Structures are given as structure tokens and as C-alpha cells.
Amino acid sequence: MLCRGLARGLGVEAPITSPTYTLINEYEGTLPFYHFDAYRLSSAEELDQLDADRYFFGDGVCAVEWSERVASALPAAAAVVEIQPEADGSRAITIIGAAFEEALR
């Protein structure tokens, strides 16, 4: 749902689907949206082999699910969004990252 919301905010009108088997889905909007799924990757090196830097340092917005599997390949400026279920059915959302923290100042 988070990726769908990001995509809609970027003006993407296409249906947002999981990139579990394709690894990266690309969408056009007011800014390009790149949706990664690292679940099937076993290392950051595998993400590097997908030429991820061209997405990370391009002109769009990237979302990487299962980012902890490839954390060392992510840009230093990346913001990490952690979503944890709570006992009452709600979700706790934590956003971590130097660029995010700088934007709040």
C-alpha cells in the first residue's frame, strides 16, 4: 500500500504490482517511480548487477522492499521506512536517514 500511495502521489496512473519476480517495475508519472523488490536477492552485489545506481541517481523516486537484504548497496542519502505491526492491528512507522532528518530541520 505504501508503494501504491507513493506512485499515486507521483502521478502514476498505471496499476502498481509487486516486482517480486521482475525485481524492478518502472512507472511513468510527474516523476518516474521505480519499485524494487529485493526479497529474491541474496546480496547487495546482486542489486549492483541490476545497475541500480542508474535508478538511485537518476531523475525519479525509488522504493526498495526488503531493503535490509541489500542495505550496503543503497545510497547514503536513502531514507529507510520501517513498518511494524502492532498488537492492536495498527502499524508503527519509523523513517530513518540523514537526508530525511536534514529535511526536518
Q: What is the DSSP string of 25-64?
A: EEE-SSS-EEEEE-TT--SHHHHHHTTHHHHHTSSSEEEE
- Co-location of 33 and 9 in the same domain: yes
Domain of 101 in residue numbering reads as 75-105
- Co-location of 25 and 42 in the same domain: yes
- Co-location of 69 and 22 in the same domain: yes
Give yes or no for a contact between 101 and 77, defined as CB atoms under 8 angstroms apart. Answer: no
- Co-location of 43 and 94 in the same domain: no
- Co-location of 68 and 86 in the same domain: no
User: What mean pLDDT do residues 18-28 have?
Assistant: 92
- Co-location of 91 and 60 in the same domain: no
pLDDT digits (tens, 9 = 90+) for 35-86: 999 999 999 999 999 999 999 999 999 999 999 999 899 998 888 888 899 9
Query: What's the total number of domains in the chain?
Result: 2
Q: Nine-digit cell at 53?
A: 545506481
